[in-house]
Amino acid sequence: MNAEMIMGLVIISIVAVIMVIIGISQFNKKEKPVGFYNVIAPPKKEEISDVIQWNKKHGFIWIVYGICIELGFWLGYIMPSEVLEMVFMMGGVIIPLPFMVLRHRALEKEYKLN
């Protein structure tokens, strides 16, 4: 492993750990509903049918995202070509995003009262 790969691993791992920490904190939050996007305020407690499940499922989304980021790096690392390496490393960051948004929208339909 060369110096560039080690730096990449450190940076990617820090980002992945931050996503997992966000997920764990959301997973454990009990009183108020968590938000999904930074630019949109989280729903009010009265707008959600089950706050604990809402928070757990949103936390799970972020935990899985952190795992995808880390896994994408390691899968990229073992690829035989630089192109595949980049595809997997960037894919671990980018590909999960639309699935996260779709899952959030499904949770809104399931738990939002309005």
Strand runs labelled E in the chain? none
Q: What is the pLDDT of residue 17?
A: 97
Residues ≥6 apart with Cβ < 8 Å to 91: 72
Which portions of the chain are predicted below pLDDT 70?
none
Rounded distance between C-alpha atoms, residue 22 and residue 40, angstroms:
16
CA distance 87 to 49: 40
Instruction: Give the per-residue pLDDT at 82.
Output: 86
pTM for the full model?
A: 0.90
Q: Which two three-digit tokens encode residue 26?
A: 């959301």
Q: What is the C-alpha to C-alpha distance for residues 85 and 27, in angstroms, rounded to an integer? A: 32
Q: What is the pLDDT of residue 8?
A: 86
pLDDT at position 70: 95
